[in-house]
Structure 1
Amino acid sequence: MPIVFRAAAGAGRSYGATHSQMLEGWFMHVPGLKVVAPSTAEDARGLLISAIRDDDPVLMVEHKDLYKVRMPLSTEAVPIPLGLARVLREGDAATVISYSKAVHTAALAAAQLVKEGIHVEVIDVRSLKPLDTATIAASVRKTGKALIVTEAMSAAGPAAELAYQVMEGAFDYLEAPIVRLTTRETAIPFAPSLEAAVVPGVEDVAQAIRALAG
């Protein structure tokens, strides 16, 4: 059935427990439903075009906190194939795999760590189902280490599936256990300070990279 659903999700705006979850993990379990989660305006437009043209139902998960961010947008609307990841930053110390707003968190942490001589590769998955396993595996085979950063919960969530795909595609190349950094298993609080304490932040990602790449 060719239909596209757009869903706002995510924390960062003090909406509390009932309006701050990342729901992509729920919908990844639906047979035949494709799931994408863009991190930029350019990707959102390109993925939306491909979703509309697709013969299957597609869910686009849009992070609410990204609506307020000004981003560059080209004059030409170019479709982005579903199931195609993007290497946002190249490196060799470890591979950081993420999507949606968490990509920006990971990218900021990666930029900070350059000053410490740590150069990590950052992959924006963009499409969770289908998943670009080839790009992910190629990166981890190069770096030997993988950190998965998501705003979703860890139990049976997207990070678990990503970790499995890393294991399946690059197991013989792994030099350390796969690490998952996710939102804590709790209802998202209203208070901004508490909300920030349960969702992975830049320093959380940086510390995880240091521990993994060290």
Structure 2
Amino acid sequence: MQETIVGAINDALHSEMDADERVLIFGEDIAESGGVFRATDGLKERFGDDRVLDTPLSEIAIVGGAAGLAMYGYRPVAEIQFSGFLPPAFDQLVTHASRIRWRTRGEWSAPLVIRTPYGAGVKALEHHSESLEGVYGHLPGLKVVVPSTPRDAKGLLTAAIRDPDPVLVMEPKQIYRSFRDEVPEESYEEPIGEAAIRREGSELSVISWGAMMYPTLQAVENLGVDAEVIDLRTISPLDDETVVESVKKTGRALIVHEAARTGGFGSELIACINDRALMYLKAPIERITGFDVPVPLLSMEDYYLPNPPRIEEGIKRVLTA
């Protein structure tokens, strides 16, 4: 079937709630109205208000409640309305959900999922456009996935719900409804921790994820270069093997992400490449990123985000260095 990313997410939730009565979903305005982006549309009507619940405006309670439910046998899927609202629940992620398996030496686990729309590109207000995947990817015990296609959105969310540990699913809202793609009707999993090669090439490796995959692919197409384009899909655990093997083959690397430059996940990728493929590099690694400022409002937002011309300039610098 042809589906958008947000439609694929809705389909995954329907499938997993049908298959497993332990799966519950809750969050702000997700039951009665189907959520801000309608990702949970129709679920309350199908599964009732015992399994699909609206919550108070309290992210710490949403995530803390999910951790408790998960420890006692449920499979909660909590929606945080925008990723910029997740920091109030950071304590629950750091102190409890991500380390309960370690703390109890495997006696307890917290198989919860947190879904949250993230990133800029929709002209939203403050706290609605953050891209903090690098922050959450730093937490041992928490898996972080970022789909960029409808097929991956359904498969990765399904895998996250079935995972025995907490998973943060960061959904790039800029491309929620930008396009449709073929998505299997049946339930399936996309493996957490495996990158996807979106385009094979030998001149350089271009690494990105989420909504930035599309300006990246467009820039490569515009220049006509023989670039290998890698979609990470998972921030943690990182598929460093795919990244390193690609760089060993091409000898050049460019990283594209919309998060602020300093301390962004691109820094970790550079360290990984330097650790394991330094002697294969023919040129310094380049980064095309957001700037070290909060995402600007409205008219300046497009300037903040990496776009094909900026990415093209980065590709040229890598290839001519």
Match of 2:44 in 1: none
| Alignment pair present for 1:29 and 2:138 | yes
Match of 2:250 in 1: 143
Kept in 2, the 8 Å contact 1:183–1:199? The answer is: yes
User: Deviations along 1:136-194, whole A, 9 cap, x unmatched?
Assistant: 111100110110100111211211111111112211101111111110111212223x1
Structure 1: stretches of 5+ with no match in the other structure: none
Kept in 2, the 8 Å contact 1:28–1:129? The answer is: yes
Match of 2:47 in 1: none
Greater RCO (Cα-Cα under 8 Å, separation 6 or more)? 1
Structure 2: which amino acid aligns with 1:50? A
- SS, match of residue 181 in structure 1: strand
Alignment equivalent of 1:112, drawn from 199, 219, 222 = 222
Match of 2:111 in 1: 2
Match of 1:94 in 2: 204
- SS, match of residue 31 in structure 1: coil
Kept in 2, the 8 Å contact 1:36–1:47? The answer is: yes
TM-score of the aligned structures, taking structure 1 as reference length:
0.94
Kept in 2, the 8 Å contact 1:125–1:131? The answer is: yes
Shift of 1:77: 3.5
- SS, match of residue 193 in structure 2: coil
Alignment equivalent of 2:168, drawn from 59, 65, 70 = 59
Distance, in Å, in 1 between the alignment partners of 2:284 and 2:291 is: 20
Kept in 1, the 8 Å contact 2:213–2:231? The answer is: yes
| Alignment pair present for 1:132 and 2:239 | yes
- SS, match of residue 78 in structure 1: coil
| Alignment pair present for 1:190 and 2:300 | no
How many residues are aligned here? 210
Kept in 2, the 8 Å contact 1:16–1:188? The answer is: no
Answer with 55-64 or 156-165: which moved more. Answer: 156-165
- SS, match of residue 169 in structure 1: helix
- SS, match of residue 162 in structure 1: helix
Shift of 1:202: 0.9
- SS, match of residue 29 in structure 1: coil
| Alignment pair present for 1:175 and 2:282 | yes
| Alignment pair present for 1:12 and 2:121 | yes
The structure with more radius of gyration: 2
Structure 2: which amino acid aligns with 1:111? E
Answer with 160-169 or 91-100: which moved more. Answer: 160-169
Kept in 2, the 8 Å contact 1:97–1:147? The answer is: yes
Distance, in Å, in 2 between the alignment partners of 1:77 and 1:172 is: 43
Match of 1:74 in 2: 184
Structure 2: which amino acid aligns with 1:186? V
- SS, match of residue 14 in structure 1: coil
- SS, match of residue 203 in structure 2: coil
Distance, in Å, in 2 between the alignment partners of 1:211 and 1:137 is: 20
TM-score of the aligned structures, taking structure 2 as reference length:
0.64
Distance, in Å, in 2 between the alignment partners of 1:196 and 1:34 is: 30
Shift of 1:75: 3.0
The CA RMSD measured in Å over matched residues stands at 1.2
User: Deviations along 1:19-43, whole A, 9 cap, x unmatched?
Assistant: 1111212211222000011111110
Kept in 1, the 8 Å contact 2:131–2:259? The answer is: yes
